[in-house]
A = this chain, B = another copy of it.
């Protein structure tokens, strides 16, 4: 860090550099833009950041983002099939599936994968409420959309064992996905194919 920046610039560049995907050069370019043509956008940007923090929270049902006090865009939408439930690891996976356009049901964000080595047990994930939701919603199908790595596979089987007594149809994404890979590594077409070709999870 060059000591010849005024302090407020040094502080902002340090913060920008710490954001994911921004290096020292792009942080500096951003700062120069903010000091120049972007000057008028600063209040708007600062306000949008604070608004995000204060007004976005997790949906108590599915775990995806909702605006505080507003309805969930999935759980409380009559345009989504409420009988079709897709289990994903993270909110980012919801965005990926939505971009693929392959799914019109609702989601359940686990918040991670079971991983005994990392001390991630069923009580650390949104698993108890999953069984409750499947029962209350009288789900017709639960699609387990986890990656096909070891933790993803074992989590899928754990969930299938848990849900099978409820008499629900349990499916998983088709093996169009690359072996050992998660949802973050496939393009939208592959994800679309994997969704269309989903198959029953056998014990």
A residues at B contact (CB < 8 Å): 2-9, 11-12, 15, 18-22, 26, 28-35, 38-39, 41-53, 55-56, 65-67, 70, 73-74, 91-92, 95, 98-99
Do A74 and B39 have beta carbons less than 8 Å apart? no
A34 close to B52 (CB less than 8 A) = yes
- Chosen A-B contacts, 8 in total, with CB atoms closer than 8 Å, are A2-B99, A9-B65, A15-B41, A15-B44, A21-B30, A35-B91, A42-B49, A46-B47
Kindly identify which residue among B26, B56, B99 contacts A6, using a CB–CB cutoff of 8 Å. B56
The minimal Cβ–Cβ distance linking A199 to chain B, given in whole angstroms, is 26
B6 touches A74 (CB 8 A): no
Residues on B with C-beta less than 8 A from A56 are: 6, 8-9, 35
Q: Are B98 and A2 in contact (CB under 8 A)?
A: yes
A29 to B67, CA, bound (A): 19
* This protein's copies in its complex: 2
What is the bound-complex CA distance between A97 and B95, given in angstroms?
43
Q: Which of B32, B42, B51, B92 contacts A91 (CB 8 A)?
A: B32
In the complex, which residues of chain B have a beta carbon less than 8 angstroms from the beta carbon of A38?
A: 19-20
Residues in B whose Cβ lies below 8 Å from that of A99? 2
> CA–CA, A56 to B19, complex, Å?
22
In the docked arrangement, what's the CA distance between A99 and B26, Å? 15
- Chain B residues with CB under 8 Å of A53's CB are 34, 39, 42-43
Q: Do A42 and B34 contact each other (CB < 8 Å), given the known contacts A8-B67, A73-B4?
A: no
Partner of A11, one of B8, B15, B18, B51: B51
Other-chain contact of A8, B12, B43, B51, B92 (Cβ < 8 Å) = B51
Whether B4 lies near A20 (C-beta < 8 A) is no
